[in-house]
Amino acid sequence: MRSTLYKRVVHYPENHLNHNLKKLIEEALAEDLGSGDVTSEATIPADSTSIAVVLAKQYLILAGIDIAVEVFRHLDPEVRFTPWAKDGDRINAGAEIARFSGNTRALLAGERVALNLLQHLSGVATLAAGYVEKVKGLKTVILDTRKTLPGLRQLEKYAVRMGGGKNHRMGLYDMILIKDNHIKAAGGITKAVASARTKSGILRVEVETKTLDEVREALAAKTDIIMLDNMPVDMMREAVKLIAGRALVEASGNVTLETVRQIAETGVDFVSSGSLTHSAPAADISMKIK
């Protein structure tokens, strides 16, 4: 059970773009280009061709390079792409990531959109890798959350995987997670879990707990996964002993790079953090015309 819980993920389309990703690229380019790139049109001949080099200006974990390719190909279907790295690779500062060659106006028109996506996703992957490194040698798995930018969830969760993390639920549809507001509205943990069991089918049921008494109630209700939400580390350790393998255990809330190792050492199966996606700094990547 432990090894399969979070294997259900929505995979990034590596060989073709799905409808949502095509729409994202089209809308992002339309937002930036409007009626046209007036600067390039005023200064560069329409038939000009160039080589553009994409450079890492910091150490990073690469994510989103294939999306950058599709941004340029949307503007110039004949653009040529020469990669020196692939998603998931560790890139040192100063390294050349890839080269694009094609129509100069198209390369300049797509530069900002391509870099925005590449920088953001590589930033997510790099931060996720930092969390994974902190718990190295322990059984704990690093998970993301639903705290993603609207419209970018699939890509951000893909980037988390490129950094070595795993995905929690993709949305409200693929897992039952009974949080504090559900518990209040349903009349308690026991009632909420019992009701979920009658309607959930094969979906696993997770319950958010804040106290040891709530942990005991969730255990008695035979919950599949118990989330320890914003608990002090000493209480987490006590909760793990109390659960004693009868349910999977997830720690969440106030997780940082400085605290994640200590949290993982309590014996929890998973540590989830919204910061992987909502607070990841953009990786420093640039594009230069040769």
Active site residue 222: no
Nearest to 220 by CA among 242, 251, 202: 242
**Of 99, 112, 197, 216, which residue is the catalytic one?**
112
Active site residue 134: no
Nearest to 225 by CA among 173, 268, 279: 268
**Of 37, 66, 87, 229, which residue is the catalytic one?**
229
Residue 152, amino acid = L
At 249, which helix (H) or strand (E)?
strand 248-252
CB–CB of 161/148 below 8 Å?
Answer: no
Place of tokens 């937002």: 31
Q: Locate all alpha helices (DSSP H) within 34-90, ordered by sequence.
A: 38-43, 65-75
Active site residue 208: yes
Q: How far apart are CA 155 and CA 280, in angstroms?
A: 14
Q: How far apart are CA 159 and CA 238, in angstroms?
A: 34
**Of 90, 179, 191, 246, which residue is the catalytic one?**
179
**Of 37, 144, 208, 217, which residue is the catalytic one?**
208
Q: How far apart are CA 92 and CA 285, in angstroms?
A: 11
**Of 22, 147, 210, 261, which residue is the catalytic one?**
147
By annotation, the residues acting in catalysis are 112, 147, 179, 208, 229
